[in-house]
Structure 1
Amino acid sequence: MFPLQLLALTAVSTATLAPPQEEQEKKKQEVEKKKQEVEKSRYDVMFRRGDLLEVPRTLFTHFGIYLGGDRVAHFIPDILPVVSSDQFRIKQVVTNTRLILGVLAKCGSIRVDSVEDFAYGSEILVNPMDRMCSRAALQEEDVACRAEKLLGNVEYSLLWYNCEHYVMYCRYGTVMSFQTFQFCKTVRKLLLSRRVAKATALLLLCLLLYLGAASVGLVLLTALLPFIIWMAA
């Protein structure tokens, strides 16, 4: 009888000492919550609400507005909101496939992500546009409020309305993109040059001789198009 009582007491004491599964889960959640709070406070020390954040990518630079509490509002092309209503999937980090398809379909969303997801492993620059933009930055709270007000699905354009246009409006009250300007300037240099004008004139002249038909329209095109390119260069 005594061994049975001893065994029962041992089992009871073991059950008492072992924490229930619910308590373990609760403790795990508390630890995770504390980690998140530490992470949030760390970023709140590094950035201020309304700061413009810039991260260099392979082919372009991405921009966002820091909202505080490890949250960044940014405009990114994304095809998923168009083809799915699953909010859990939509809230996941935007993959390159989603991004490229979003650019092609001209659809995107102004969304809020963590600083880590926004940076995607790149170095973060803070308010670099303050030195480039001729306009003074708005009040920090006004910047953040503008960024939050525009959250949602928005038509995306690589040249005419991208992430830089979005942050420039939020922080400086102007819709412009230095990246777009630089791209258009480069294209203009490549296409609208005197060398291109000469090459165009030569090609059109060869076409005219090859066809052997000197129509008025073709003659005008041969003379006018190189002239326009020459004058625009």
Structure 2
Amino acid sequence: MFLYQLLSFFFVVSKKEEKPKYDLSLYKRGDLLEVPRTLFTHFGIYLGDDRVAHLIPDILPAITKNKSAIAKMVTNNRLILGAITKEASVRVDSVADFAYGSEILINHMDKVCAQPPLDGDEVARRAEKLLGSVTYSLLWYNCEHYVMYCRYGMAISYQTYQFCTTIRKIVFSRLSAFLTALCGMCTVLYVGCVTPLTFLLVLLVSFTIWMAA
């Protein structure tokens, strides 16, 4: 309880004079909704009646059983700490709470995914069936994996693919190979462990990165 009270200072939702208005007539049951949030795009499935099912990291359920506090809109602080600790849940929020003040795109992934979408009722049923606590993984199971499975029948994430591609370009660049060799040699010289084996190891790692670039 003390931990919850201590951390609650960081989880207070900023008071807004008025929540953005969203035209609910634009959304149909089973629609895939997406909004920009912090450093990524967040996804959800519209269930109807101003309800959106979405997978979102949240630290609060791990530190308190206060259902009224957990039910409040997930702030960015709660989200980031939940992602770090891999605490998440598939929950239902209003459209306004899901969007967090951002513009909503409807079924934009239909233009990207080669797989045709399932029937709207089937999409919503899948989304509702998965409600509850889940183990979060930024790379292997995030909000995009969840909605892609519900709407298209395959749990994939284009954001994850783009992220991994970017990291691969950085890690396997020729500059990275040069810096790896330089840092390796400096470390070996600093600790005074210059042997043919350590020199060969540094050279091998750098050469592997260079060839993969």
TM-score, normalised on structure 1? 0.77
CA-CA distance at 1:217 after TM superposition? 2.9
Show the counterpart of 2:17.
none
CA-CA distance at 1:207 after TM superposition? 4.0
Show the counterpart of 2:165.
185
Q: 2:118 aligns with which of 121, 127, 138?
A: 138
CA-CA distance at 1:85 after TM superposition? 1.7
Secondary structure, in 3 states, of the residue corresponding to 2:48? coil
Instruction: Give the Cα–Cα distance (whole angstroms) in 1 for the partners of residues 199 and 87 of structure 2.
Output: 43
Structure 2 CA distance for partners of 1:207 and 1:119, relative to 1, 3 Å? closer
Instruction: Give the Cα–Cα distance (whole angstroms) in 1 for the partners of residues 190 and 76 of structure 2.
Output: 47
Secondary structure, in 3 states, of the residue corresponding to 2:29? coil
Flag the structure with more relative contact order, 1 or 2, with Cα contacts below 8 A and sequence separation at least 6. Answer: 2
Task: Confirm or deny: 8 A CA contact 2:136 2:142 kept in the other structure.
Answer: yes
Structure 2 gap segments, 5+ residues each: 1-20
Secondary structure, in 3 states, of the residue corresponding to 1:48? coil
CA-CA distance at 1:158 after TM superposition? 1.8
Q: 1:226 aligns with which of 197, 206, 210?
A: 206
Structure 1 gap segments, 5+ residues each: 1-38
Note the alpha carbon deviations across 1:35-69, whole angstroms, 9 max, x for none.
xxxx99x51x2111000001112311110000011
Q: CA RMSD in A?
A: 1.9
Q: 2:53 aligns with which of 73, 80, 100?
A: 73
Note the alpha carbon deviations across 1:46-96, whole angstroms, 9 max, x for none.
111000001112311110000011100001111111222222221111122
Instruction: Give the Cα–Cα distance (whole angstroms) in 1 for the partners of residues 185 and 171 of structure 2.
Output: 19
Structure 2 CA distance for partners of 1:199 and 1:143, relative to 1, 3 Å? same
Secondary structure, in 3 states, of the residue corresponding to 2:146? helix
Show the counterpart of 1:169.
149
Show the counterpart of 2:180.
200
Secondary structure, in 3 states, of the residue corresponding to 2:170? helix
Secondary structure, in 3 states, of the residue corresponding to 1:123? coil
Instruction: Give the Cα–Cα distance (whole angstroms) in 1 for the partners of residues 109 and 121 of structure 2.
Output: 18
CA-CA distance at 1:209 after TM superposition? 4.8
1:102 to 2:82 alignment: yes
The 10-residue stretch of structure 1 (144-153 or 80-89) with the greater mean CA deviation from structure 2 = 80-89
The 10-residue stretch of structure 1 (141-150 or 97-106) with the greater mean CA deviation from structure 2 = 97-106
Show the counterpart of 2:5.
none
Instruction: Give the Cα–Cα distance (whole angstroms) in 2 for the partners of residues 49 and 58 of structure 1.
Output: 26
Q: 1:18-167 residue pairs with structure 2 within 5 A? A: 43=24, 45-167=25-147
CA-CA distance at 1:213 after TM superposition? 4.2
Secondary structure, in 3 states, of the residue corresponding to 2:55? strand
Larger CA Rg, structure 1 vs 2:
1
Note the alpha carbon deviations across 1:90-109, whole angstroms, 9 max, x for none.
11111222212211111111
Task: Confirm or deny: 8 A CA contact 2:38 2:76 kept in the other structure.
Answer: no
Structure in which a larger fraction of residues adopt helix? 1
Instruction: Give the Cα–Cα distance (whole angstroms) in 1 for the partners of residues 69 and 189 of structure 2.
Output: 60
Note the alpha carbon deviations across 1:15-46, whole angstroms, 9 max, x for none.
xxxxxxxxxxxxxxxxxxxxxxxx99x51x21
1:215 to 2:202 alignment: no
Paired letter, 2:105: L
Instruction: Give the Cα–Cα distance (whole angstroms) in 2 for the partners of residues 224 and 100 of structure 1.
Output: 38
- Aligned residues: percent identity? 61
Instruction: Give the Cα–Cα distance (whole angstroms) in 1 for the partners of residues 36 and 134 of structure 2.
Output: 23
